[in-house]
Structure 1
Amino acid sequence: MPRTSRFRRPMLDSAVAAHEKRMAPLLAPEPADPAGRRRVAQENDAAVSAALGIESPATASEVRTVAVDGHPDVRVRIYWPGDEPASSDAGLPILVYFYGGGFTIAGIDWVSWDARFRERARDAGVIIVAADYAHAPENRYPVQPEQCWSAFEWTVEHAEEIGGRRDRVAVGGASSGGDLAAAVTLMNRDRARHPIALQLLENPALDLTIGHADMRGISAGMPGVIVRKAGRSLVRQYLGDDTSKARHPYASPMLAPSHEGLPPALIITSELDPLRGDGEAYARALSASGVPVTALRFIGQTHGSLGSTGFVPAADVAHRLIVSELRALHQAGAE
């Protein structure tokens, strides 16, 4: 009988491969300049969403503008789970969330992100406050973490006004937004110590020195040197030319001197994503510091495939998992 190796090369999930093949003809090439790339990326998001029939559920929402000390104001959009804004005595859990886009693209107005926020709010019965933080390279660190911190503080201060409870506030983010979410938990520990019930990190970037990137799972057709080069390009746009900034804890939460006193965490990673190294290393660092943490790696998934709910079965599972964690906040606040 043929021998079966215990160390088989990771393979792309067939559902992801089919979904990517379907989307490829819909995507226009992105130009090199940041503003042009951002514009075309949003147009691609709208085109793909229209072709796939992705629509935002008709749930209540409202945009507010939050002042940020020493930095540009930040827009936040409040998403309620029902057709009307929650009453001030509703006592709902709140998730403060930061979108992903490599610090350079995406936002709360993208069709895909708006639909995701509305679906999660509706399915989990929670309020989501999504921050539309500024893009690099036009705005660079520390603008983004300070904007996200101000969005979080605003949410805590106005929790009851928007129908929530300040002892049932969670913080979350995906990719670069996961970096910002983790930074906010560190800032909160250092500055205010508001109760945070959960930190939800989805394929997060947590070490901007690229020191924890794991290239073992990526395709042989995409050499690690190319992936690292692309990562460093995004980091340079975000941090500028001063490479020492990448070691600041609020830029690279993985490199913080201590992770003690941080909130419980759910960290989701994907097998075919170099950032799985960041997420899994952070899970170990949190656990070693006494922080309750659950980390799950989705086999055969890529950096963005878990956002493809309705088209990739693993993405549907990830959605149900996240909704379940958010629903649990109805029963118990932060310790």
Structure 2
Amino acid sequence: MSFTKKDFHRPQLDSAVAAFEARIAPLLAREPRSAAGRRKVAQENDDRMSAALGITPRSTASADHLVEVSGHPDVRVRVYWPDESPAEAGDGLPAMLYFYGGGFTIAGIDWVSWDARFRDRAHDSGTVIVAVDYSHAPEVRFPAQPEQGWAALEWLFAHAEELGIDAERVAIGGASSGGNIAAAVTIMNRERNEHSLRLQLLENPALDLTMGHADMRGISPGMPGVIVRRVGRMLVRQYVGRGRRTARDPHVSPLLAASHTGLPPAWICTCELDPLRGDGEAYARALSAAGVPVTAVRFIGQTHTSLGATGHVQAADSAHRAIVAELRALHRAPITRTAETPVGS
């Protein structure tokens, strides 16, 4: 087979992703239109897929806590420790507050795939993961979710010592809609208490809910951009309602904040065949322009969900190792730069 120069610039789906999608497709029931019905079927799909793929959460220690949220529904958080026993007070482990992805409407910490992912990350990185089971839209809408995230962050810092966490080694992270909430909470933290956050780790984050930065160039011809935009707008309406002004709120669209100065250093990954690629890469540029240290990684040939296919897609395994490396870096003292410190040293 011969290739032209254009072939090397045309987005192509990773063959491992194509094989993985073909394998799981027969396992997935079609989701209904209603939010509650879609949520139920999506969890059943996750159960079937996890069983077929042999995904079994490792037996590391965990504990659930209910966090009070003023003016909004209380929120459950689950603490994942790296080993089979909980850390003890004073152990001083790093931690990451994390928000799962699910378009603001589905998924949760009880999904087998997410529970397994949190346990693997905690174990492999030696980091405590505190996962936030935020409320689903449209039954509960903005601003409940970022306020729940803020309450969970406050709770983490208030209980860090007893959880075996070093309050000077805390990160915040999220995927997709969870990345949106994580980024919103970092802005809220700057506005409110300014807790010490060492890192924001964002995976395929949705950061502009006006969809002004959505990038349709990598979408497969089988999924036209007009359909992607229609689904995206539906999810946004379920989360924030129909008000266009609300979608520009920096707690809804962190990319549109008037300033990004003073936010935590960031590690952001995007995928070539994901319309949210534009959000993540624009946010990386905005942070860099504001003087925030940032690393942005684009995974070629990957889709919005394929980096979750660890053990089946090489790029997903690479993403896991990269995230683990970022979390392991929390064990080290932070790098402090002065005017005399050369860039790149």
TM-score, normalised with respect to structure 2: 0.95
CA distance in 2, matches of 1:294, 1:94: 20
CA distance in 1, matches of 2:174, 2:335: 19
Q: CA deviation at 1:7?
A: 6.3
CA distance in 1, matches of 2:276, 2:325: 24
CA distance in 1, matches of 2:255, 2:147: 18
CA distance in 2, matches of 1:50, 1:332: 40
CA distance in 1, matches of 2:201, 2:169: 14
Q: CA deviation at 1:8?
A: 3.2
Pairing 1:32-43 to 2, within 5 Å after superposition: 32-43=33-44
User: Residue 71 of structure 1: SS of its match in structure 2?
Assistant: coil
Q: Which residue of 2 aligns with 1:291?
A: 292
User: Residue 44 of structure 2: SS of its match in structure 1?
Assistant: helix
The letter for the 2-side match of 1:229 is R
Q: Which residue of 2 aligns with 1:157?
A: 158
CA distance in 2, matches of 1:333, 1:46: 40
Structure 1, unpaired ranges of 5+: none
CA distance in 2, matches of 1:165, 1:334: 17
Deviations 1:187-209 (A, max 9, x none): 00000111100000000000000
Runs ≥4 in structure 1, deviation > 2 angstroms? 1-8
User: Residue 68 of structure 1: SS of its match in structure 2?
Assistant: coil
Q: Which residue of 1 aligns with 2:74?
A: 73
Deviations 1:160-211 (A, max 9, x none): 1100011100000000000000001000000011110000000000000000
CA distance in 1, matches of 2:334, 2:91: 15
Pairing 1:53-64 to 2, within 5 Å after superposition: 53-64=54-65
CA distance in 1, matches of 2:151, 2:58: 28
Q: CA deviation at 1:221?
A: 2.1
Bigger CA drift: 315-324 or 238-247? 238-247
Whether the 8 Å CA contact 1:178–1:201 is kept in 2: the answer is yes
User: Residue 103 of structure 1: SS of its match in structure 2?
Assistant: coil
User: Residue 56 of structure 1: SS of its match in structure 2?
Assistant: coil
Alignment partner of 1:206 is 2:183: no
Distance change in 2, residues 1:258/1:3 (3 Å): same
Q: Which residue of 2 aligns with 1:243?
A: 244
TM-score, normalised with respect to structure 1: 0.98
The letter for the 1-side match of 2:31 is E
User: Residue 86 of structure 1: SS of its match in structure 2?
Assistant: coil
Whether the 8 Å CA contact 1:149–1:184 is kept in 2: the answer is yes
Whether the 8 Å CA contact 1:182–1:253 is kept in 2: the answer is yes
Q: CA deviation at 1:297?
A: 0.1
Distance change in 2, residues 1:11/1:58 (3 Å): same
Alignment partner of 1:256 is 2:263: no
Whether the 8 Å CA contact 1:179–1:251 is kept in 2: the answer is yes
Deviations 1:226-247 (A, max 9, x none): 1111100000000012221100
The letter for the 1-side match of 2:112 is V
The letter for the 2-side match of 1:235 is V
Pairing 1:157-176 to 2, within 5 Å after superposition: 157-176=158-177
Q: Which residue of 2 aligns with 1:221?
A: 222
Distance change in 2, residues 1:13/1:7 (3 Å): closer
Deviations 1:234-284 (A, max 9, x none): 000000122211000000000000000000000000000000000000000
Pairing 1:174-185 to 2, within 5 Å after superposition: 174-185=175-186
Q: Which residue of 1 aligns with 2:341?
A: none
Number of residue pairs the alignment of both structures matches = 335
User: Residue 149 of structure 1: SS of its match in structure 2?
Assistant: helix
Distance change in 2, residues 1:333/1:29 (3 Å): same
Pairing 1:181-196 to 2, within 5 Å after superposition: 181-196=182-197
Whether the 8 Å CA contact 1:168–1:334 is kept in 2: the answer is no
CA distance in 1, matches of 2:193, 2:4: 58
CA distance in 1, matches of 2:257, 2:9: 35
Identity of aligned residues (%): 69
Distance change in 2, residues 1:334/1:167 (3 Å): farther
Q: CA deviation at 1:6?
A: 7.0
Q: Which residue of 2 aligns with 1:98?
A: 99
Q: Which residue of 2 aligns with 1:14?
A: 15
Distance change in 2, residues 1:87/1:147 (3 Å): same
CA distance in 2, matches of 1:3, 1:197: 45
CA distance in 2, matches of 1:287, 1:45: 37
Q: Which residue of 2 aligns with 1:233?
A: 234
Distance change in 2, residues 1:143/1:31 (3 Å): same
Q: Which residue of 2 aligns with 1:277?
A: 278
Q: CA deviation at 1:316?
A: 0.2
